[in-house]
Chains A and B, each alone.
Chain A
Amino acid sequence: MAADAVDRKKIVGAALAAPTFLFLLVFFLIPTGLLFVYSFWLAKSFALIPALSLDNYTRALSSWGFYALTLSGLKNGFWTAAFSVVLSFPAAYYIVYRTRGNLLFYIILVSWFSSYLVRIYAWRVILGSNGLINTTLIQLGLISQPLEILLFSPFATILTLVHIMLPFTLLLLVSSLRDVKAEYIEAAKDLGASQFEVFRKVILPMSYKGLVGAFMFTFVLAAGDYVTPQFLGGRDGMTTGIMISNQFRSSGNWPFGAAMAFLLLATFLVVYFLFVQLLNLLKLAPGRRFHD
């Protein structure tokens, strides 16, 4: 009887989860598989030529432009993820351990309610030559000419991406910090740990998954983004995304575009591996105990 109940629960659970799995299978895994196959094909003027060729990969890997644009995207991703996590962590800590309500949390999340493009254009207005910052500084007599570094620069790109990504990282970090119960922290303190030791040996390792998730989630989204860099990054703001987009839209060379997309995916996986290894090296990974 008890076994029947367990089976029934499993069946109900599977049935509830099935639509999501099916959706991802049909609209993500299968198309991704097809795209992977395409990456070994060739193309001629929007026509696919079935083949088993590494030409697209060697073409991308022999292109200086591909490396430069990928590096540009990775820099955007790294700095956006780093600033977003560093800025989110104290806010998440404050929300979880120092406040009773979620008002601050909701205030930060409310920026999600504005459109991505609107936020990009808003930053253009704020950072522009005739924008809020330059105009204010000129009126205060602090500068005589608009600061050109504010707009059409990596600074503008990363500032905007951090603004866009911050709620994501905050959400993930708040969620993970809520798993680090106040009792654990009190216990560590009772055992003589300083505030910093509590942070380094209890809070950070126990919120490890949230930290890695927040960093990588933000990193991948920011590194792959090509709209913000295009609008705010200036003439050097191009990233690999636009090269991939060109292949699918203008050149009609889907296989080459697919190959570059998979190379970018591989790069992201390497970054993920390195990040996890770094946390291991810093003894911040979970499931391992370190005794000084």
Chain B
Amino acid sequence: MTDVKDLLPFGTANILNNDVLSRRSFMGSALALGAGAALGSFTGFSPAKAAVGGDLKIMAWEGFTLENELKAWREKNGVQVDAAIISTQDDVHSKFIGGGAVRLDLAEYSQGFERFYVDELKIVKPIDIAKVPNFTPENIQPQFYQAPTWYFEGEYHAIPWVWGLNALVYNPKMTKPIKSYKDLLAPEMKGKLTFCDDTIATWPMIARLAGFGPKFPNLTKDEMKTAFEGLGPYRDQCRVFASSNGDTISLFASGEIAACFSVWSGTPVETAKRGVETVYAVPEEGAVMWCDAWFMPKTSVNTDTAHAFMNQAISPEVQAAVCKAVTGGSVNKHAPALMDADTKALFNYADLPEVFRKSPLQGQPPRTSDKYATYDEWTQAWADFKSSF
């Protein structure tokens, strides 16, 4: 199973087991789109109906399960989706290690995990791109199509589908507008700042503030150390660290914090639901881009339906709907035309190269390296930073 001698990947022997994943049941609800019409609307392709159907086990972030957006498609094709929810990316690969790999037909990974999943854990099944006909250069924004985060060595390992910015979020009633990260060091911000324990959002910005932005994720150990040392004054502004996006929202809602260092740009939508206005800002130092991609684990069984599900997920109508729901950006060129004004205004679709220049899509530190600080070393440095060591 592995070509690395003397190593025993956790659970390798059982990676093709069909253990049933604990899951959250889907609840039928409203807002179904005309998925049948959307299917293949730009290509004329329609997968063989006989092959699509049955149960589909997926794992996705909260709000990204397409529960509402694909309701009509599920009903039309007789697909029953069982969705497990991701709290952190670690939840995904932990399903395949430790001696009991579970069946998952589809799951999401954030950029930066591709090589780890494909080359090291070997848990990814290549995608038959012919079965995802919406994924073409004519439909997909060029910055996402065949990007090395999901396409390498001639194989499509995942299908990118929603992106966004992890940016600085603040409460305008508790602080003046923040235009630079340095504004967070103002005396009046003492005790009102937090860091979210989302390393995908935070680490690239830590590197950028230290002047190593373009080098991230490949910083030497000394550079990483310098970056964390420069973060000390920001830590001194904090009373608490938020354990998750949800915790950040809760802290904003209870008025305990005025700003969060780098967090999901959809945070203002969630705090608004709890009666607290917050805004997300891209300071002069920029923001951090994230992009989620669907991949098929090797334990995927219902692969035809998995392909069809991904194809639907990147169709213009579904993209427009899900971007509104999660305050995200679309990978489909035709989706912005279907968006309401607020959703469309979230990102500058007319000049995506500038968006990428200011907020590049960056990966994760290497799992093993003699030259650069590894993921493990970043994790340790992050824990030490939070503990003020």
Contact = CB atoms under 8 A, between A and B. Distances in A.
Contacts of A148: 191, 239
A100 interface: no
Interface string B367-389: 11000000110011001101111
Nearest to B98: A254
A68 B387 contact: yes
A178 interface: no
A242 interface: yes
Nearest to B97: A46
A89 B315 CA distance: 65
Contacts of A128: 254-256
B334 interface: no
B238 to A, nearest CB: 5
B10 interface: yes
B389 to A, nearest CB: 5
B90 A48 contact: no
B386 A238 contact: yes
Interface residues of B, number: 40
B314 to A, nearest CB: 30
Contacts of B2: 47
Interface string A213-253: 00000000000000000110011111000110010011111
B180 interface: no
B239 A45 contact: no
The interface residues of chain A, by DSSP majority, are classed as mixed
A289 interface: no
B384 A65 contact: yes
B19 interface: no
Nearest to B243: A230
A235 B94 contact: no
Given A130-B255, A252-B97, A50 B8 contact: yes
A50 B90 CA distance: 23
A45 B384 contact: no
A202 interface: no
Residue of B94, B387, B388 with most partner-chain A CB within 10 A: B387
B383 A238 contact: yes
Contacts of B386: 235, 238
A125 B383 CA distance: 27
A151 interface: yes
A273 interface: no
A151 B256 contact: yes
Nearest to B7: A47
Given A46-B9, A235-B238, 12 more contacts: A44-B7, A44-B368, A46-B97, A48-B9, A128-B255, A131-B254, A238-B386, A249-B90, A250-B199, A251-B379, A252-B97, A252-B376
Interface of B: 2, 4, 6-10, 88, 90, 93-94, 97, 116, 120-121, 191, 199, 235, 238-241, 243, 247, 250, 254-256, 367-368, 375-376, 379-380, 383-384, 386-389
Nearest first, the 3 A-B pairs at minimum CB distance are: A45-B367, A47-B7, A249-B90
